[in-house]
Every structure is written in C-alpha cells, then in structure tokens.
Amino acid sequence: MKRFQELLMKDIGWKLLSVAIAAVMWFMVINITQPVDTRGYSRPLVLENMDTLTRRGLTLGNGEELRNMKISVKIKAQRTALDRLNQSAEWIKASLDLSALENAVNGDTVSIPVEVAMTGGGAGYDIVSKAPTAVEAVVETLMSKQMPVDIVVNGELPEGVYLSEPQISGEKITVSGPASLVKRVAAVRAFVSVEDVQKAEPLRVRVAAYDANGEGVRGVTINTAEVTVSYTMHGAKQVPVMVDITGVPAAGHKIGEVTSSPQSVELIGTNEALDKITALQLESIDISGRTLTLTRNYRLADYLPEGVRVKEGTEENVRIVVEIGQQESREVILQPEQLEILGQEDGLEYRLENGVTLIVSGEQEALDALQPETLHGTVNAAGLSEGTHTAIVHVELPEGLTAGLTYANISISAAAAEEPPEQQDEPAGEE
C-alpha cells in the first residue's frame, strides 16, 4: 500500500498537468466534431384547458388572434441535434395554459405567460429564449345562435331555364363564439356555380359566416362545415289571373270595370306542374249589397301548388278592383270571328272554343249607340303550348265606355300535315 502511495504522489504536478491537457484536448475534439450552436424556430401557439372558460359560459374574445400567433423560440444544442430538430420542429411546443383564467369574468384582460417545452428529440436541447414571453387573453361571454343557410349561385343560367328552391341538408346551423363576433354575423352563406347546379347532382359546399357588409367574420365556430345542396331544373309559364265576382250590388247600382294588377303572372316550376295550370284562380269576391268600389289584395303564393312559385323580380301580390257605381251597363256578346288571336306560332293550330260575353258600362247614350257587331278584340297566345288555355280578352271600345275582365278559351293543337296532291295516271303513248 505504501509503495502504491509513493508511486501515486511521485511527480504529482506533472501528472495533474497531463490530466488538464488531456481534458482540454478532449473538449477541443468534441467542439470541433460536435460544435454547439443556437437556432431560431417559429411555432404556433396552442391554447390549453379552454374548458376553464367554456364550462362557465365564457370564451376568448381574441381566440382567433391567439391561435394564429407565432412564437419565436431560440434553441441551443449540438449542430447534429439541431439538424434533427429542423426536420421535426413539432418537438417544440408553445402553449398557453388557460387555467390561469379560472376566476376571470366577462370583460377581463389577463396577461398569461407563454410556456415552451421540448416534447421530443431527447435531452441536450436548451431553450434560450422565447418571444413574446406573455400574451393578453380577453375574456368574453360565449354566445350562440341558429341561422339559415343562404345559397348564392354564381353565373347566369341559360334563357328560359330556372332553378327550384334549394334543398339543403341541415337548413339551420349554429354559430357560436365570442358575443361581440356572433352579433356581427348577419348571414351564413355557401357559394355554388351555375355549371355545377345544372348537373342536377347533390353538391357538397362549405359554409362561412358574413357580416351585413358581406365581409367574412373570423373567430366564430359553425357546427357544420359543409352542407349538401340540390336543385331541380324548372321552366316558366305566363298565366292569367282570374277572380269570380259573386252576388248582386245594391239596388240601382251596377258592376263597373273589374281590373287586375297585374293581369297575368309568370310562374316557375316543373313542366309537369305548370301543364296543370291554365289560370291562377283567386278567391271569389262577394259584392252583395255593395254601393262603393271594392278593392281586394291577394298574396299569390297562397294560391300556388307545391313546387310552383312566382318568378323572382315580378309582383308577388295581385290587386283586384271592382268598380261599383250607378252607371248603366249592357251585356254584349262577341262571336269568335270578332276575336283575333295574337302570338301564333308555325306548326300549331289555334281555335277559340266559343264567343265571349262582355259587360260594357258607361253613359246610357253611349251604350245605346254601341253596335256589338263592330267591336274587335284580341287574345294573346304567345308562349302557350298545346292544350286548352284561358286568356284575357282585350276589346277596343268607343270612348267613354269601359268593360270588365272577360276571358276566352283557346284550344291549341299540332297542325295537321298537308297531304301531297294525288298524281294522275298519264295516258299510255302510242307505239
């Protein structure tokens, strides 16, 4: 043992110097082959423990801003380790612990420190700095409301082609988020193109929230990211508005002119549904015992079958005015030959079923001078297809006379094909 101690202590100074030199050289080799470096990284801010607010009916008023925030982080490690980190930056996690807001109330603004941690890559990484080191969280009341989905069709449809009302899966959806943002939401919209809707196939479209100026509202949550939309191709048809006048006015009074505004409406629907409509029959008007002019307003949608609607941009209501006064009136019959059919198309035959009865009102002298056989009326058949239709008759009357609405029945059929003339046998020639 003594021998060993003597050997250990002999030239101890030189031995310690040798160890120091070896250590320095070892560190130099390590630093040359595995140098230490510092690099910067940018990571999104993760919000944790949001239920600290939501379970109390609160949320973050600036949540969208915080979720989009990038945290700058500087990491110190050996270069080879940093090279691995460059390929797996998700090992760096920047988070905000919202449990710090446990006692916060609506309207509070609280500064919360940003936490940065290494979730992978093993040891050897040193977090040098982070920026920002803390952020402000704005606490607001959590609000939600249900809204319908508005479908916007981009593009122009071909002439004469119309779309049905859209069939939407989940027509009402829920918008939730900070009260200040949810109150801004004026509409939830989805956009489709004309080309897509004409394919007559269900479409999956994304929905988004918009304010009253058409600007997108970010920071709110929509419970359904997409909806399914489908359309049916529709056609159009012009039909007259008809109303029956029932009853008799008070003694000494007569029905004057009956006017309809508009006189006809353009309807949109499937061809099958439109073919069944020859006129729009409104609820009858009872004038029993009346001495004054009567006005009645009708909402057209109340008289349309399911799947048929009034063309957009046209009148959705009709106004019927029944004039009642002490003027004399006279019943006049117009024969079919006194009526001219306008708007006839080649290849179709048009025929009036019968004459029409016209109630003409005015001064007695003018009524007595009226010669029914000289009257001329027109019926507009433009756009009508094969079948039987009811159309308004317009009659030219002498000045001072008026007439109520009257209608004529028009039968339209395909024109019969003309048969070629018979060929006569030529006499045989003499040989």
Count of other CB atoms within 10 angstroms of residue 112: 17
Task: Determine the pLDDT at residue 430.
Answer: 45
User: In whole numbers, what is the pLDDT of the chain averaged over residues?
Assistant: 87
121: left (phi over 0), alpha (psi -120 to 50) or beta: left
Give the whole-number percent of the chain exceeding pLDDT 70: 90
Summarize pLDDT for 289-324 with one digit per residue, the tens: 998 999 999 999 899 988 888 888 788 899 999 998
Residue 377's SS3 state is strand
| Tokens 């007259």 belong to residue | 240
- Sequence spans of domains, the chain: 34-140, 141-234, 235-414
Tell me whether the CATH fold assigned to 34-140 matches the one assigned to 141-234. Answer: yes
> If you average pLDDT over each of 31-45, 85-99, 253-267, which comes out highest?
85-99
With a cut of 80, say whether residue 327 has pLDDT above it: no
Summarize pLDDT for 369-385 with one digit per residue, the tens: 999 999 999 999 988 88
Taking residues 236-254, report their average pLDDT. Answer: 87
In Å, the largest CA–CA distance within the chain is 165
Domain 235-414 CATH assignment equals 2.170.120.30: yes
Q: How many CA atoms lie within 13 A of 65 on its CB side?
A: 9
Q: What are the residues whose beta carbons fall under 8 Å from the beta carbon of 51, sequence distance 6 or more?
A: none
Task: Determine the pLDDT at residue 10.
Answer: 64
Task: Determine the pLDDT at residue 249.
Answer: 87
With a cut of 80, say whether residue 351 has pLDDT above it: yes
Structure tokens at 137: 């969280």
Task: Determine the pLDDT at residue 160.
Answer: 75
With a cut of 90, say whether residue 233 has pLDDT above it: no
Beta strands 36-48 and 92-97 are parallel
Q: What CA dihedral angle connects 289, 292, 297 and 298, to 10 degrees?
A: 30
Task: Determine the pLDDT at residue 166.
Answer: 85
Structural fold of domain 34-140: RNA Polymerase Alpha Subunit; Chain A, domain 2 (2.170.120)
Task: Determine the pLDDT at residue 431.
Answer: 39
Q: Which CATH class, in words, describes the domain spanning 141-234?
A: mainly beta
